[in-house]
Amino acid sequence: MISDSADEAIKRLRIASSLADAVEGVDMVIEAVREEIETKRSVFSELSSLAPNAILSTNSSSLPSALLVESVENAGHLLNTHFFAPIWIRTMLELMSCGETSAEVMESTRQFGESLGLTTAVVRGQSKGFIINRIWRAVKRESLRVVDEGHADPEDVDRLWMLFFQTEYAPFGVMDMVGLDVVADIESSYQAVTQDPTDKPSAVLHKKISEGKLVEKTGEGFYKHPDPAYARADLLGTKRSN
């Protein structure tokens, strides 16, 4: 499926006029609404009624499906399926049980992921942020702290990261790709359960949001878009202000 052209994939899309129409007769539902637990609970309560026999999965990037158990009738059909964007580059999928997911559902979903050509990993037990985002969250939090504490600006953090790890992207560039309002929602979900008293909302992140800098929606985040500095070859040379 990943090797298919974009045009061929688009032809297979169907736009539904209602949630009931969208899930009629389906074997699996993958939810991708905003990263806010009450919104997801409302959606899953409705899905449980509309598609009682379907596998119900959440593409949440940080919230465990265990938080949705009380919203569904059959927790055995509930789990996390965390895809990564862009899927044609980050060809991987994380699965995590809600704590009550049946072995059959876990296995059939693993096979589904593999059938898409995705490297599919099953998280053992319960891990907020699963595997990659738990590690990424630590990187993101410390990157924001370095800037909040005045030790660097976002561009220098990214330049040094890209040189050290030899990557195309770095923490602040990735946050721009995600969207700063989405990043803030995700950070809030971690801060709500943290045991670390120093784990507080980032001043620089929330300043950007208060200024309406939401990246693709507004044309600016930590970088100006399109043609952000992190995508230009000269970022790693002489420092450029953006």
Cis peptide before 52 (omega within 30 of 0): no
Cα angle 138-198-123, degrees, rounded to a multiple of 5: 35
The yes/no answer on whether domain 132-236 falls in CATH 1.10.1040.10 is: yes
50-54, 125-129, 205-209, 213-217: the lowest-pLDDT one: 213-217
- CA 146/CA 129 separation, integer angstroms: 22
Q: Residue 172 burial by CB count (10 A; 0-12/13-18/19+): exposed, middle or buried?
A: buried
CA atoms within 13 A on the CB side of 56: 28
Tens-digit pLDDT profile for residues 38-64: 999 999 999 999 999 999 999 998 899
**Banded model confidence at residue 237, pLDDT cuts 50, 70, 90:** low
Q: Are 87 and 62 in contact (CB under 8 A)?
A: no
Predicted structure pTM score: 0.81
CATH class of 6-122: alpha beta
Other residues' Cβ atoms within 10 Å of the Cβ of residue 207: 11
Residue 78, strand partner residues = 56
**Banded model confidence at residue 193, pLDDT cuts 50, 70, 90:** confident
Which is it for strands 92-97 and 78-83: parallel, antiparallel or unpaired? antiparallel
Domain 6-122 shares a fold with domain 132-236: no
> From edge to edge, which strands make up the β-sheet containing 92-97?
28-31, 55-58, 78-83, 92-97, 119-122
**Domain residue spans in the chain?**
6-122, 132-236
